[in-house]
Amino acid sequence: MNRILKSACIVNRENGEIMDKSIQRLLEEPDTEILVVDNNSQDNTKELLKKYDNNPKVKYWIWDIKGASYNRNWMVKHSQGKYILLLDSDVLYESGSFDYLIKRLETAPKIDNYSFGVVGFTFFSFTNIMGEQARHLPPDDSPFLYVYEPCVPCQYGVFLRELFFEHNIWFDENFGVGWGCEDDDFGVQMFQKGFLCATIEFKYYHNKNTEQYRELHHPDFTKFQERLQYYKQKWDTSVLNQIEGFYKKLRGE
C-alpha cells in the first residue's frame, strides 16, 4: 500500500462539478489521499462522489450542514498525511500546487523564533472566469504576503499536521453553522503557540462574487455578526492588538 504523505480535505456545498475536477487532479498526485465532506448538496454532488466508492484514495461523508469548523476538524481527524491541504469546493485545485505549498512551507525561515505552520494562496488573487487562471505556479522565491492578521488560508492552504495533533490547535466548533472568523481564530491559536501563517499571490479559479456564491453566503446563513461577536468575546483586545502589530511589522507598515 502506498504511504500517505498528503491529505487533501475538501468542504463542499452545492459545488459538485468544481469539486469533482479538483478530485480528479488530486488523484493524479502520488502519496495523496482525498477526504470530502458534503453538506447535503442538492446538485449532482452525490452522484459524482459515488464514482469513488471503490477508490481507496478517496473518503467522503454526506450529512446535513454542521459548520465549517466541524467539517474541517472531522476530515483532519480522519486523515493520515504529514501535510494537510484545506480546500473549499468552489476553488479549483491547480495541479502540483500541493507540493509547491509544502516546499514553501518547509523552506520558510523562522521570524523572531516563530515558525510557519500554514502557507496558502491569497484570498483576493482569483478569477471567477474559468480559463483565466494563471498558467504557471508562482516562482519558488515569490514573496510571502501577510494580508490579514492572522487569518489562515482555509480556502486554499497547506497546514502542518503537527498543529492539530501535537499542539492541539483545532477549529473552534462553537462558531456553529455559518462562515467567517474561525479561520482568524485558528490563526490566533497558532500565534500563541509560536506559529505564523502567510500567503502567496496566485491567480486561481474561485466561484466567488457570482449569483450562486451570493446565494450560498447570504447573511442570514453566514451569521457573520454573531460569529464576530463570539470571536471578540473569546480573545482579549490586547492579545488581538499584539498579533495585529506583529503582522503589520511583517508587512512593513
Helix (H) or strand (E) holding 86: strand 83-88
The answer to the question of residue 109 being in a domain is: yes
The answer to the question of residue 1 being in a domain is: no
Distance of CA 24 to CAs 19, 35, 203, 246, Å? Answer: 9, 13, 20, 40
The answer to the question of residue 239 being in a domain is: yes
CATH at residue 111: 3.90.550.10
Q: What is the pLDDT of residue 248?
A: 94
Mean pLDDT taken over the chain: 93
Question: Mean per-residue pLDDT for 155-170?
Answer: 98
Distance of CA 231 to CAs 173, 180, 195, 241, Å? Answer: 12, 10, 19, 14
Q: What is the pLDDT of residue 210?
A: 67
Are 191 and 150 a contacting pair, CB within 8 Å?
yes
Quick one: pLDDT band at residue 148, thresholds 50, 70, 90? confident
The answer to the question of residue 80 being in a domain is: yes
pTM: 0.95
Distance of CA 240 to CAs 151, 189, 247, 252, Å? Answer: 12, 11, 11, 18
The answer to the question of residue 102 being in a domain is: yes
Residue 169 has pLDDT above 70, yes or no: yes
C-alpha 4/C-alpha 248 separation (Å) is 37
What is the residue range of 181's domain? 6-251
Give the range among 50-64, 106-120, 131-145, 196-210 with minimum mean pLDDT.
196-210
Q: What is the pLDDT of residues 205-247, one digit of tens each?
A: 999 866 777 776 677 777 889 999 999 999 999 999 999 999 9
Domain count, the chain: 1
The answer to the question of residue 10 being in a domain is: yes
Residue 87 has pLDDT above 50, yes or no: yes
